[in-house]
Amino acid sequence: MATGLLTYEEFVRNARDLVVMSDRLGDGWELRHVRQTDGPEETAFLVKRICVAIAEESPVDPETPRDVGEPENIEDEDPATLHCRGTGKLSEKTVQFEYHVIYSPSYQVPVLFFTATFHSGRLVPLKEIWKFLSPFHVTRDSGMEWESVTQQEHPIFGRPFYHLHPCHTSNVMATILTANKHERGDRDIKNYLLSWLTIFGPTIGLNVLIDYLKIDSKT
C-alpha cells in the first residue's frame, strides 16, 4: 500500500473491517456481493444511502414543494421506508444519495460511485447536485466539479451513475500513507478504505464520523 495502490483482496479485507466499525456506530455501510455474468467469482462492493432534505435554494422535482433541512444518515434498506431526521420518511421534500464503493482493477484503487434521486425516482442532474452539498473541497462556481465527477455506466449494474474519477487517487493515497508511516514508525495505516473515504468522501457530501478513527486506532 506504500505506492497508494490496493489489491482486490486488501479491498475486501478493508471493506469487511469498515462494515464491522460501521455496525458498531450504526452508520449504515453494507458489504454486498454480486456474481457477474462474465465470470464465476462474486464482486464485493460497499453501499451506503444518505437522505438529504431539500433546502430553499436547492432544486426540487417540478411537482413538489420546497423545504429547509440538513443532510442526515439513514439506515433502512427499503427506499420506501427510508427516514430523514427532522423530515420524517423519504418524501417529496428529500433527495436520496446512494454511494457505492467499487474496486477498480485498472487503477487498483477504490472508486466512489453515486446517484441522487428525487422521491419520484427522477435522477438529479449533476449541475444541480452541488446545490444539495456543502462546498467542501470544491466551490460550486469554480467549474472544477466537472473535472472530477462524471457520469458513466455502473461497472456492475450497467445503470447511469456519477463517479469520482480515480486518476489521482493512488498519488494522493501514496502521500498520505508515506506521511502516516513517518508519524507511526514502520506501521502501515490500519484501514486504507477509511483513510480514503475521509479524504475523498466529503468532496461529494459523504462525511466520515470521527468515531471511526477512534475505533481504528484501537484495533
**3-state SS assignment for residue 110:** strand
167 is catalytic: yes
Q: Cα(48)–Cα(77) distance, rounded to whole angstroms?
A: 10
Q: Cα(164)–Cα(196) distance, rounded to whole angstroms?
A: 12
Matching residue, cell 460550486: 140
* Dihedral over alpha carbons 218, 195, 83, 45 (to 10 degrees): -110
Q: Cα(181)–Cα(35) distance, rounded to whole angstroms?
A: 37
Residues composing the chain: 219
Matching residue, cell 485498472: 106
Residues 6+ positions from 175 with CB-CB distance below 8 Å: 4
Among residues 78, 106, 141, 167, the one annotated as catalytic is: 167
Catalytic residues: 167
